[in-house]
Structure 1
């Protein structure tokens, strides 16, 4: 069985959930992963995504980069339609509210995220889209 460090997408989510993050929480380059559950804005179905995150001032940060593509990730579009999400960090699953960091909040939060995943800065060079930092606040 390969390590979750080699997994992406649905396979990563599945392994993480099966093991309560025992396999999948720690990922590449020392990053840590949470699972974000959103509601599909068209389907109404629950969607799950493995995302690099960082704790910051009592909340959790994720970046809606999609590798610097012109369009945002589907999970971001879904949570802008419905900011009521669920988050799982290891075995702890909880409800949260998602919001985009304000222009005043973003610089410190962006710096915290690029500290753990420097490629985010490279992604900004690939797109004209503003790459948002999303703040997940436990309900």
Structure 2
């Protein structure tokens, strides 16, 4: 397991054992766990990530720490937009939808208010960072 995956697993474990609260670098940061289906493997893949609430939706950003490529979870959602989230102590299914135009710009601007360092991610990445809305799936 890579160092990055090990670090993510520690965050996931802390999140689940502490009712959705994580300390260290993530203290005070709104964090959720997103579980997607691997596009190639078909296996569940869980990633901790920061999010923004937008009404009933949760919004996540495919920043990948400013890397040139989109993160794996984003590719997984393109292949299958059905996923699940854990927020605090609540878990539920969601459907992912990409945003664009004015909606994407509004959400990106709101995220920069909370996490201004995301602007640096976009500069380093040299790509437009996808903004993805997660809407609760109605059973």
Q: Fold conserved (TM > 0.5)?
A: yes
Distance, in Å, in 2 between the alignment partners of 1:30 and 1:17 is: 16
Contact 1:34 1:87 (C-alpha < 8 Å) held by counterparts: yes
Q: Given the alignment, which residue of 32, 51, 54 partners 2:52?
A: 54
Q: Does 1:14 align with 2:13?
A: yes
Q: TM-score, normalised by structure 2?
A: 0.87
Q: Given the alignment, which residue of 78, 81, 102 partners 1:80?
A: 78
Q: 1:52 to 1:105 in 2, by over 3 A?
A: same
Show the counterpart of 2:101.
Answer: 103
Structure 1 runs of 4+ aligned residues shifted over 6 Å read none
Q: Secondary structure at the match of 2:129?
A: coil
Show the counterpart of 1:4.
Answer: none
Show the counterpart of 1:70.
Answer: 68
For residues 15-53 of structure 1, the C-alpha deviation after alignment (integer angstroms, 9 at most, x for no partner) is 1122331x3289647321000000001111111011001
Q: Secondary structure at the match of 2:102?
A: coil
Show the counterpart of 2:32.
Answer: 34
Distance, in Å, in 2 between the alignment partners of 1:91 and 1:107 is: 30
Q: TM-score, normalised by structure 1?
A: 0.87
Q: Secondary structure at the match of 2:22?
A: coil
Structure 2's unaligned 5+ residue stretches are 1-5
**Aligned-residue RMSD, C-alpha:** 1.9
Q: 1:74 to 1:104 in 2, by over 3 A?
A: same
Give the total of aligned pairs: 132
